[in-house]
Structure 1
Amino acid sequence: MTAGGAPHPPVAFAPAAAAASTIRLRLPFAAPLVQKMMAVYIVLLFVVSANVLDLIGYDYSAIGGSPITKIHVSTYFIVLLFAVFLVTYPQKGDLARYYLATKLGSIFFFCAATFAVINIVVDGRNGFGMYFDTDLHLFLCAMLLPFVTPENMDRLERFLHWFFLANAVLAVVELAIGFNIFPLITYSPDGMTTVEPRATAFLSHPLHAATITCVYIVSLLCGAGRDLRPNLRLPMIGLQCAALLAFGGRTAFLLTGLIMAGMLLWGAFRAAAGMKMSQRGLIVWFSIIPVGIAAVAVLAAIGAFDPLLDRFTEDGGSARTRWLMVPLLLSFDWGDMLWGAHTEYVRSQVYSFGLEWGVENPFIQMSVFQGVVIASLIMLGILLLIWEAYRRMTAKAIYPIAVFFFLCSTFGSFAGRFFTFAIFLVVVATLFRRTDAPPDYVS
């Protein structure tokens, strides 16, 4: 039966049964009011960073302050947005069937996150803010994105290109002048505060900024972002690489370099093997090498690489943290490892291992504070949610998705307040949207 209620002829049931994963309900997109609210939400998500909130006195990152300000304003807004969407949607029954048929993984993730926050509240554990800014925010974003019209997705892509342009320029300027427009203030466990010297631009934290910028670079290298003019693609990639240098993310910088080197070698191999390549492609690929060498030489001469090299020689204990986090987890007995130990005991163990600044892996960090069972449920739910989103994208989206998960595994990431996950989902869902999707109804 279609969304309008008209029955199919009997012969139509055979292909419907054979393709059970296909949703034959022609659901309309969200109402115009919701589309406008989505635009406001995107601006809040990308432009109003945690640093901006701290700068205006919202007390988002501070240890003290009201619990209300520990939740990002974009999270409050998307909760309101989803409520308005549900109230104004004309076919609520069909919407429920659509979600049950296409979003079971996301629903599983939401249930796992809710179970985790109940465990946090009951036992007084750490991570209450994670439920709202990381889990609930990501779940609602995944549920809303399919209902954005193709025209607004085109506008969103153009916004993303302008945003990454402005973000990269701001990062390079911050590196050049040695001053952050939206500074990141870090609060140590003993109450001391320090100002992060690396550039942050609009993306709150240098590691978060480097991760999202790397995802954007890989997306452009894969040919995503069809609204970006071809003659602007390489300059944009070069500018984003300069921003990576400003952010000081070592893993992201090295990974981007390896990916670009691999693509250059593949292009050289194709040319040497006589495979078909356009003349413009040959000129571009082989001009990158001398231009890239010259650019690196100039940047090295003016000392642009010095802060990044200092991160390799003096990383503030990050390498030591990654070495000790597994022994920390194994120091618990089986019961505490699976279901989580008492909070005070966990904190004493963390301090005894010298890891009070955090554990540099999201799964192990969640396992230490909440137990392996809950951490596994959360991670499985995240993978299912991303898989459902990936099915609405082109096949090459798997590359930035893999890069994102790899980079997230090198720091705390989504084991804390991490609305950057929603930013990532918006970026890949927009840049890799399918061209064959129906323009008049939700696929």
Structure 2
Amino acid sequence: MTAAPQIPSAAWSVPIHRARPRARDASAAPAILLLLVLFLFSGGVLWHLGVNYDGFSGSAAAKVHPATYLAPLCLLWAMVSSGDPVGFCLRTARDAPASLLLLVVGTALLVQIALRSGTGLSGSIDTFVGPALVMMLLVRIAPARLGPLETALHGVMLANACLGLAEFATGRLVFPYRLDGEAFPTDTRSAAFQGHPLVNALVTATYVLALIAGGGQLRPWQRLAMLALQTAALVTFGGRSAIVAVVLLGGLSVLVATLRVLRTGRVPLLAAAFGLSALTMAPLALVALAFGGFFDKLAERFVSDGGSANARIEMLALIDRIPFRDLAFGPDTGFVETLRRMHGLEWGIENPIVRMVLYQGVFMTTLLTLAVVLFVAEIVRRCRPGTFLPVLGFALLLNTSESIASKTTVLAKFAIMMVALYRPLMPRRR
């Protein structure tokens, strides 16, 4: 017998990595807490708690959203609990460079507003600094631990839609949008937990498009039920652009997916049965909604826009009235306010880029636009494939109102929503 060949022991050796705490394995509890505060504490809710968030009077500290205060505390806690604060900061800067850029540019905007003695300091913090800190926290959580975050998101969106439908059915707004405590009696759109109806429409439409595109881990019947509920609530929020985006983008996506299934020649029996049942029940549901006045609400929003279409035309005339040398670094805000009143734009300039150019100048607007685009690209890079539809809808809807050119938390909500529904990819270990 010949002896068995001796295999070097080095061939069997496997490098063993010693177990040590890693910042990426942090708990998802802080992110869940941030989600609940972001999605449930609108300006209307805060007013009932004694905080004048949407208004001009009161303490300056009250103008910053509680989630923006909470984000750096959660990030600090994650840094301390990691056991390696310096390494935590270096890894965060490496994994979230666009978030760091957004943090720097948002701080620069804050300094510019302060030096010019302008208004909107809290807007720069909530709109840009807060989302950057939220994303820095999210990149430190392992994808395997993000299941509870997704569950919390579905629960919050379910509660928001139910409250919106209840407000529509009863005609009474529980947490209406208030300016210095004064609600607008002529605005009967549902407010739910998101406060302003347009913010509600933007968040709900993005969520619906994400579900249509396959985001999340819901079962098929749960996904369909949530889509029906959220779409019905979207109508009560009154966002015309959001409704059109969901119908066109979502309908086109569903049509493409259906044709792809039919081309295979094999349709699941359960899907076929559900489709036939839906076609049978659809006429009855439409008739019931029509008699309940549901479609009257939708038609009213498209017939009466409150001067929104005219505002999009008049806002371009403001730029023509201001010399470019003043537009470069921001014209006098008092002069801009005078022009707005002359053109009947007291209610807002319905495009974020135009508004930022008028108030912050071309230079700062360019930096902010670049930082936001890279920030959204960073979110997409950390998610699994399939984010094109919600990202496209979100980008389109951002440009239909002042959105990120004023005080808002929609960027932070978008980051949490995408990370929760599309689990981020783990980077390869070196």
Query: Structure 1 vs Structure 2: percent identity of aligned residues?
Result: 30
Q: How far apart in 1 are the matches of 2:277 and 2:369?
A: 43
1:419 aligns with 2:409: yes
Task: Please list the CA deviations of residues 164-194 of structure 1 after superposition, one character each: whole Å capped at 9, or x if unmatched.
Answer: 111111111110000111122246xxx9752
Q: How far apart in 2 are the matches of 1:200 and 1:281?
A: 35
Q: CA deviation at 1:308?
A: 2.5
Q: CA deviation at 1:285?
A: 4.6
Q: CA deviation at 1:63?
A: 2.3
Partner residue in 1 for 2:372:
382
- Note if contact 1:29-1:148 (Cα within 8 Å) is conserved in structure 2: yes
Partner residue in 2 for 1:120:
113
TM-score, with length taken from structure 1: 0.86
CA separation of 1:249 and 1:260: change in aligned 2, threshold 3 A: same
Of 326, 331, 349, which residue of structure 2 is paired with 1:336?
Answer: 326
SS in 1 for 2:137: helix
Partner residue in 2 for 1:136:
129
Q: Map of 1:25-424 to 2, 5 A cutoff?
A: 27-29=22-24, 31=26, 35-186=28-179, 194-195=184-185, 196-226=187-217, 228-267=218-257, 269-270=259-260, 273=263, 275-285=265-275, 287-424=277-414
Q: How far apart in 2 are the matches of 1:157 and 1:38?
A: 11
- Note if contact 2:23-2:79 (Cα within 8 Å) is conserved in structure 1: no
Q: How far apart in 1 are the matches of 2:135 and 2:83?
A: 20
- Note if contact 1:54-1:60 (Cα within 8 Å) is conserved in structure 2: yes
Q: CA deviation at 1:64?
A: 1.3
My pick for the range that moved more, 194-203 or 361-370, is 194-203
Q: CA deviation at 1:365?
A: 0.8
- Note if contact 2:114-2:121 (Cα within 8 Å) is conserved in structure 1: yes
CA separation of 1:396 and 1:211: change in aligned 2, threshold 3 A: same
CA separation of 1:269 and 1:40: change in aligned 2, threshold 3 A: closer
Q: How far apart in 2 are the matches of 1:281 and 1:71?
A: 48
Unaligned runs of 5+ in 1: 1-24
Q: CA deviation at 1:59?
A: 0.8
CA separation of 1:271 and 1:28: change in aligned 2, threshold 3 A: closer
Aligned partner of 1:140: which letter? L
- Note if contact 1:27-1:94 (Cα within 8 Å) is conserved in structure 2: no
Aligned partner of 1:110: which letter? L
Q: How far apart in 1 are the matches of 2:87 and 2:41?
A: 35
Q: How far apart in 1 are the matches of 2:261 and 2:104?
A: 51
Of 417, 421, 426, which residue of structure 2 is paired with 1:437?
Answer: 426
- Note if contact 1:200-1:247 (Cα within 8 Å) is conserved in structure 2: yes
My pick for the range that moved more, 35-44 or 423-432, is 35-44
SS in 1 for 2:350: coil
Q: CA deviation at 1:72?
A: 1.1
- Note if contact 1:146-1:442 (Cα within 8 Å) is conserved in structure 2: no
Q: How far apart in 1 are the matches of 2:393 and 2:35?
A: 23
Task: Please list the CA deviations of residues 385-435 of structure 1 after superposition, one character each: whole Å capped at 9, or x if unmatched.
Answer: 11112111012112211111111110111111111221111011110114x
Unaligned runs of 5+ in 2: 1-19
Q: CA deviation at 1:370?
A: 0.7
SS in 1 for 2:184: strand
Q: How far apart in 1 are the matches of 2:44 and 2:137?
A: 26
Q: How far apart in 2 are the matches of 1:265 and 1:43?
A: 34
Task: Please list the CA deviations of residues 257-280 of structure 1 after superposition, one character each: whole Å capped at 9, or x if unmatched.
Answer: 223432443355446655554333
TM-score, with length taken from structure 2: 0.88
Q: CA deviation at 1:106?
A: 1.8
Q: How far apart in 1 are the matches of 2:233 and 2:325?
A: 45
Partner residue in 2 for 1:3:
none
CA separation of 1:151 and 1:100: change in aligned 2, threshold 3 A: closer
- Note if contact 1:45-1:423 (Cα within 8 Å) is conserved in structure 2: yes
My pick for the range that moved more, 366-375 or 256-265, is 256-265
CA separation of 1:322 and 1:286: change in aligned 2, threshold 3 A: farther
Q: How far apart in 2 are the matches of 1:270 and 1:395?
A: 18
- Note if contact 1:109-1:377 (Cα within 8 Å) is conserved in structure 2: no
SS in 2 for 1:348: helix
Aligned partner of 1:92: which letter? P
- Note if contact 2:164-2:237 (Cα within 8 Å) is conserved in structure 1: yes
Aligned partner of 1:72: which letter? H
Give aligned pairs, total: 410
Q: How far apart in 1 are the matches of 2:418 and 2:429?
A: 18
Q: How far apart in 2 are the matches of 1:37 and 1:399?
A: 28
- Note if contact 2:31-2:138 (Cα within 8 Å) is conserved in structure 1: no
CA separation of 1:413 and 1:275: change in aligned 2, threshold 3 A: farther
SS in 2 for 1:147: coil
Q: Map of 1:17-32 to 2, 5 A cutoff?
A: 27-29=22-24, 31=26
SS in 2 for 1:371: helix
Aligned Cα root-mean-square deviation (Å) = 2.5
Q: CA deviation at 1:150?
A: 3.7
